[in-house]
């Protein structure tokens, strides 16, 4: 499903027009991004949790040159599905 497909689905299920559906989706994504940048979790009970996880520094290898490189530590966004979402997907 693409972003356009998701906007069309939101419009169909909510009764909003496509322009307002796109604005709502963009506001949701922006709000989640802002929360994760601050280090907060976004918990949607039954749906899931958006959070960041620390990735340790590690050594990697350039596949073309086989040269070893250092990959710095970073934060990676993650999503953990809630029980209700898991149950719906597995029906």
For 52, counting Cβ atoms within 10 Å of its Cβ (0-12 exposed, 13-18 middle, 19+ buried), the class is: middle
Same domain, 53 and 88: yes
In this prediction, residue 9 carries a pLDDT of: 96
Residues 33 and 45 reside in one and the same domain? no
- The number of helices, as runs of H, and strands, as runs of E, in the chain is 3, 5
Tokens found for residue 35: 């929360």
Which residue in the block uniquely carries the two structure tokens 């590690």? 58
Split into its structural domains, the chain has a count of 2
What whole-number distance in Å separates Cα of residue 38 and Cα of residue 87? 31
Structure tokens at 12: 């169909």
pTM of the entire structure? 0.81
Dump pLDDT digits (tens) for 38-47: 999 999 999 9
pLDDT at 29: 97
Task: Say whether both 31 and 60 belong to one domain.
Answer: no
- Phi-psi region at 39: left, alpha or beta (left = phi > 0; alpha = psi -120 to 50): left
State whether 45 and 88 are in the same domain. yes
pLDDT for 13-60, tens place per residue?
999 999 999 999 999 999 999 999 999 999 999 999 999 999 999 999
Domain match, 1 and 28 both? yes
């Amino acid at each position: 499903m693409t972003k356009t497909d998701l906007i069309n689905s939101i419009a169909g299920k909510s009764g909003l027009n496509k322009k307002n559906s796109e604005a709502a989706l963009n506001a949701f994504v922006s709000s989640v991004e802002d929360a994760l940048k601050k280090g907060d979790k976004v918990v949607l009970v039954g749906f899931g949790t958006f959070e960041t996880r620390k990735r340790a520094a590690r050594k990697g290898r350039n596949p073309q040159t086989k040269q070893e490189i250092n990959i710095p530590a970073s934060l990676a966004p993650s999503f953990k599905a809630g029980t209700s979402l898991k149950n719906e997907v597995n029906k």
